[in-house]
Amino acid sequence: MGRGRVELKRIENKINRQVTFSKRRNGLLKKAYELSVLCDAEVALIIFSSRGKLYEFGSAGMNRTLERYQRCCYTPQDANAADRETQSWYQEVSRLKSKYESLQRAQRHLLGEDLGPLSVKELQNLEKQLEGALSAARQRKTQIMMEEMEELRRKERHLGDINKQLKNKLEAEGQGSFRAIQASWDSTALVGNTFSAQSSQSNTMDCEPTLQIGYHHYVPPEGATIARSVAGEGNFIQGWVL
């Protein structure tokens, strides 16, 4: 009994699809090899799986077969178009190379290098360029400095406002503290005055009159001279004072 005809459509089952791909791929690669050997043909086979994996076979080398394919497929018109495109690309590369060398030379001139071959007119143009660049740099510098000064002024005003607020707050708190301290001082002074009055009254009451009989012993001060007697009998110290 022969195998039934297989309907050509996408296999929905993923596993069956992968198994079928592996079997048919191997069979196709085998057929390509057999064709190249049996018929002495140059065969190239390229297969990409659904996951992007590459499978290839080239009896004479893949690159060689592809180059041969390109030579066979291109017509003379296409070849002429390719030559014209290649020529245009060469011209574009040459133009860009010349421009690059010119820019490098101009940069060296601006840096003060390789000025020997320049003429007077070229040097004058270079001088004007440098003066213009210097003027633009100075203007930009001035602009940046003005912006920084404005920013510093803004910060100064902000700090001044904060300082003023702190000063007012400190003055308000200081007045309250001063009033409290003054009240404390007044109460302390009142208590001290009362204590002094009581002490003076106590001292007055403690004092009593005393009676002294006789005379006080006289002690002469330092540097005082000792009196001599008129009769010349000898020196003596006055023992009492009237």
What number of residues does the chain have? Answer: 242
Q: What percentage of the chain has pLDDT greater than the value 90?
A: 27
Decide if 201 is inside a domain.
no
Tell me the per-residue pLDDT of 30-64, one tens digit each, with 9 for 90 and over: 999 999 999 989 999 999 998 889 999 998 888 88
Integer Cα distance of 53 and 18 in angstroms: 13
Q: Considering the domain boundaries, does residue 126 fall inside one?
A: yes
How far apart, in whole angstroms, are the C-alpha atoms of residue 60 and residue 42?
A: 6
40: in domain: yes
Nearest-angstrom CA–CA distance, 218 and 242: 11
Does residue 205 register a pLDDT over 80? no
Which runs of consecutive H residues, i.e. helices, occur in the chain?
A: 14-38, 62-73, 76-110, 120-206
226 within some domain = no
Whole-angstrom distance, CA of residue 219 vs CA of residue 240: 10
Both 91 and 145 in a single domain? no
pLDDT of residue 236: 44
- Same domain flag for 31 and 82: no
* Residues 86 and 106 placed together within one structural domain of the fold: yes
**Is residue 58 in some structural domain?**
yes
Question: Tell me, what's the pLDDT at 37?
Answer: 92
Task: Classify residue 216: in a domain, yes or no.
Answer: no
Residue 109 and residue 127 in one domain? no
- Evaluate the CA torsion angle 15, 16, 20, 21 in order and state its sign: negative
> Which range of residues forms the domain containing residue 17?
10-73
| Residue 164 within a domain | yes
In whole angstroms, give the CA distance from residue 109 to residue 130: 10
pLDDT on residue 174? 74
Q: How many structural domains are present in the chain?
A: 3
Identify the three-state secondary structure at position 145. helix
Whether 2 is covered by a domain: the verdict is no
Average pLDDT, the chain: 77
Q: What is the pLDDT of residues 65-92, one digit of tens each?
A: 988 888 787 666 666 777 788 888 888 8
Instruction: Provide the CATH number for the domain around residue 20.
Output: 3.40.1810.10
